[in-house]
Structure 1
Amino acid sequence: MAPYDSYDNTNEDLRTGRRKAARYVVPVAVLGVAAATIGLVPAFAGSGDPDLPDITAQQLIEKIAASDVQQLSGTVKISTDLGLPNLGGLESSLGGGMGGGDDSGSSADPSSKLLELASGTHTLRVASDGEDKQKLSLLDKAAEYSVIHNGDEVWAYDSASNEAYHMKDSSGAAEKGTKGKADDVPATPKELADEALKAADDTTSVTVDGTAQVAGRDAYKLLIKPKASGSTVGAISIAVDSKTGLPLKFTLTPASGGAAVIDAGFTKVDFSKPAASTFDFSPPKGTKVTEGDEAKAEGPADRAQPKGGEDLGKEFQGLNVIGEGWSSIAQFDTGGEGMPSESSGAGDAGRFLDSLGDHVTGKFGSGTVFSTRLVNALITDDGKVYAGAVTKDALVKAANAAK
């Protein structure tokens, strides 16, 4: 089916519909969730091209905003390829990584466990029955990791280590704990789509790009692309269920082409009410249970900060945003020196860091650009940082202009 007529996103009604859609956003980390190129067709599950009534981009965004699916269960496959270097045994050589020596930690803590979704391919089982009952299970060969929210109870269980993490707070901290931990890492097409819609503004083109079939459901394809060049972002494709308005699939690939950076979609979905027993959980015999009190609600990364870590943010001399939209660059000053390098006498550590980045020079001086397939960061030798979903050249240009 040919793409439908596009609506330029400068249209005020379209922007209003987009803001309405953004109300449904589950708070997630913004960095790393940006966009995709046009090599999208192979990413869609199913080969059908259903014949659906024509719909405009504005109408489709409003359909997403009006979606109120309270009950569902299904299987989601998510693949993430940021092109990060293989650090091999570096973590173990540094003593087990962040929090490795913290006896109060738990392998079942969602704030660290779900970060596994940041790389590789994973299969998730999801279920929901209203705002008070959700379950997400990360399947890994013979092991399973689950986060269960049932009323004021939040449980996370890691079958591999036989450890559980528990939170209970009738004042509503349980719900906060669920969304502050499990949902910090976007795991479903809806969460990814919501984040993408937040980024859509006057610098973005939004169109309807035909139809597809995902998990046996007829869907429209919403295509979101940056208008300007200079970004590593190409376009985002979101498959939207034609009946419920629920995003069924989200595909993100970089402007440089190649495999998707993020490809997440339902392979099975059922909109009937899940069995009540789906959300029941009792720790198996012998399980080590960690109680998540308010002091631990920040997650292991916060607990692992060195003394004085609470003042770390004060070291940054203000955060500035250069540019707008997809080409915006965050700039801040660490207040100190840049990254150690071999040339600065840092030895093996410097050589290792040099191998991860590209040395660059300009009017700003010199520095190192660290790259993924989506987000790049320039750290200058005098401690200034420029980061964004932009090209290396764009970072150097911004640093030169700021000098």
Structure 2
Amino acid sequence: MKVGFLFNHDALHQIRHTAPVIAEIVRYPKVEAVVLTSSLTQEREVRALLGVAAEQVRFVSLNIGKTAAALDRALRFIAPFRRIATLRENLAEFAALDVLVVPETTSLLLRDRFGLDHPKFVWIPHGAGDRSVGFREVMRGFDLVLLSGAKVRDRMLANSLITPENHVIVGYPKFDTIDDAPPTRLFDNDRPVVLYNPHFDPLLSSWYTMGADVLRWFAGQSDFNLVVAPHVMLAQRRVHASVEHRVVRWRRDVAARYRRLPNIHVDMGSDASVDMTYTRAADIYLGDASSQIYEWIARPRPALFLNTTGAAWEHSADFAHWHLGEVIDGVEALPVALARAAREPERFRAAQEAAFATTFSVTDQSASARAAKAIVERFGGGA
């Protein structure tokens, strides 16, 4: 059985959600693992995560023609043109697979738009957040969905996005990439470190309307350090458009003066922004819609959320994570909220522990091993 793992994105943030499964699935002697990447950067990252297991994997580089490449250079800061072109121009590679494992939903275009009726499609979501975009009708197209825990499972079942038969709860493979080493020390002082982790969604993100004010406030005080590490896709494009919310925003750069300050560290997309370096090392979370809050609560700590649109969030499943910390409406409330978070670090511990337990299934077996087993049992290729 040929099982392909596709990595076809502008950034690296999706890789750790499925790559660990590769190292487990190669243990099955009747499975041939194929890694398909659309850039050398993606391939290098997968190889680094796999280590010696990479020797048991066949790597395929997916290329696009000169016309598509030229269009991508012109459009890459506006639309994901290359991703779709990569699917369209490499149909033969996908058709040779029995199973294709992906961390996103765009790959269903292979079947729905390009007429490929083979392979079977397996989805491992890249995150366990609450945004409505994570619960769309397109998800009904997968043959098997591997989920982190009961929270996501229950919401998908309630919306008929999955069936009792086509999903398995396996846990969160990304956690398998984290070792037991102490968190990285981010600054050369003992001040509390605040992680500002805005999303790129043009409606929900605080970056477009409050980001400059957040940086200005932290630049003018000396009680806290600040790590600015948005969702990696924020820096990938200059213009962000949400088809779901019908909103378009222009991303402004971080002013150079903030990058020179000793108490502010700006990271617009390095490996550290996707490998949980900051979510493990910081003391207080400041965000809006990013699913990284659920990685943050693996070790309960204070969290603050910026309500940029005055959303009525209290009874909305899309904002369930806002019950894991204090919600504030603007930067003017930040000083008091930060002081309270530092003074009462246990305030939301119970809520965070409960949310973690329902969001992530944890057993004696790793999530990656559980995912590999689920794929093999569903589609064959067992020992």
Q: TM-score, normalised by structure 2?
A: 0.23
Kindly indicate which of the two structures has a greater share of residues assigned to helix: 2
Kindly indicate which of the two structures has a greater share of residues assigned to strand: 1
Q: TM-score, normalised by structure 1?
A: 0.22
